[in-house]
Amino acid sequence: MQPLRLLLVEDEERLAGNLRQGLTEEGIALDWVKSAEEAEQILARKTYDLMVLDIGLPGKSGVDFLRERRARADVTPVLFLTARSSVEDRVIGLDSGGDDYLVKPFAFAELLARIHALSRRRPAAQTPPILKVGDLEFDTVKRRARRAGKAIALSPKEAMLLELLMRRTGETVTRDMIAESVWDSDYNVFTNLIEVFVNRLRQKIDTDPKNSMIATVRGVGYMMRAE
């Protein structure tokens, strides 16, 4: 059985460090980010069975972040962490799409029990997740693409780029976003490497070169067309 895959979104480093150590020791595969913006970046290229999400994040709050995710049909179970204990605060969190709510400070055993309870309720359709745009499909677990039933051979970087674009179909994906998701933070976005990879991807997935599924947004980046 594959380990539970969990995304922890928490800006308190000491708390996050303790949770990371404890959950990892329990056999949970965990990634940790400190803000909603970092969570968006990692969710553009990876999928999780569950999120543990702090409400009081710097910048965009956990509530606003989750509302946006739910509006995009993200059904990943979410456990909110918060220092706020009023009934009104709990209602706001749950109404935004949260599945459970845990007030700080809390016992690690209770957090673990709630994580396991939520993991049993996660939608079966998420395993394995298949992204679809028209007749183009991408299996995010097996890292395989098909169009009209025909297999498409992709390099690891091409697969990461395709997943990023498909997850944000109809949205502009900037060159900076591509650089952060597909390459490391030292990548120079002003080189033509991104353009080279986009063109390679187009050659592999397009059936009509004059009507590419990947549109260029001049001066900004690229967009996967919905049609």
Per-residue pLDDT for 93 more than 80?
no
Cα dist from 60 to 14, 34, 41, 71, whole Å: 21, 11, 14, 16
Whether residue 114 is found in the same domain as residue 152: no
Residues 164 and 121 in one domain: no
Q: For residues 63 and 97, state if they share a domain.
A: yes
The whole domain housing 214 covers 130-224
Q: Are residues 157 and 89 in the same domain?
A: no
In terms of domains, do 164 and 176 share one? yes
List pLDDT tens digits, range 44-53.
888 888 999 9
The CA distance from 184 to 46, in Å, is 15
Task: Check: CB of residue 100 under 8 Å from CB of residue 120.
Answer: no
The mean pLDDT value for 87-97 works out to: 72
Last residue of a domain, which of 126, 159, 191? 126
pTM, two decimal places: 0.57
Q: At 224, which helix (H) or strand (E)?
A: strand 221-224
Residues 115 and 134 in one domain: no
CA distance 193 to 207: 23
119 and 136 within one domain: no
Domain final residue pick, 99, 126, 153: 126
Place of tokens 């650089």: 179
Dump pLDDT digits (tens) for 195-215: 999 999 999 999 887 889 999
| Tally of domains within the chain | 2
Looking at the fold, whether 119 and 154 belong to one and the same domain comes out as no
Q: Are residues 77 and 175 in the same domain?
A: no
The CATH number of residue 98's host domain is: 3.40.50.2300
Which one of 126, 144, 164 terminates a domain? 126
CATH of the domain at 141: 1.10.10.10
Lowest pLDDT segment from 88-92, 126-130, 172-176: 126-130
- pLDDT tens digits for 145-174? 999 999 999 988 899 899 989 988 988 988
Element (H, E) at 15: helix 13-25
Check whether residue 50 and residue 122 sit in a common domain. Answer: yes
